[in-house]
Amino acid sequence: MKFVSTKNKIEVEAGEAIFSGTASDNGLFMPSVIPKIEPREYNSFENFQQFSNKMLSVFFNETVFEDDLNEIVSEALNFEVMQRDLSKDQVLVSMLELFHGPTAAFKDFGARFLASSMS
């Protein structure tokens, strides 16, 4: 998958997007295509690491990270993750509590994934 700048649609590979941080036009990188993920797929995993690996794989297939994604996710999310199922009346709703990581902050998810991707 390619990633594009939010400003001028500059298109780059995943590795360049991660290591650059921002595009040369000062835009942010985002996936060029947002894949559709069926809601029923969300409930078929035993833990958050499996869920994350599956959800991220649609963005990182055919990239330099594809073969190492499971290891990246396992390293980045090597702590217990608390999720709350708020589903009601067949409406699937889930909440991820971002303060359960090692530093009790949201960065335990994003920054740890970024750091693991870069190593």
- Tens of pLDDT, residue by residue over 24-75, are 999 999 999 888 877 777 767 778 888 888 888 888 888 888 889 999 999 9
- CB neighbours of residue 43 within 10 Å: 11
Contact 29, 4 (CB under 8 A): yes
Report the alpha-carbon distance of residue 33 to residue 52 in Å, rounded: 18
Locate the domains of the chain by residue range.
1-34, 39-118
Q: Determine the pLDDT at residue 71.
A: 92
3-state secondary structure of 52: helix
DSSP 27: P
Top-confidence range, 6-15, 48-57, 75-84: 6-15
What are the residues facing 2 on neighbouring strands?
13
Position 92 confidence tier, pLDDT thresholds 50, 70, 90: low
Q: For all residues of the chain together, what is the average pLDDT?
A: 85
Contact 23, 10 (CB under 8 A): yes
pTM for this predicted structure: 0.74
Q: Determine the pLDDT at residue 29.
A: 94
Report the alpha-carbon distance of residue 116 to residue 98 in Å, rounded: 18
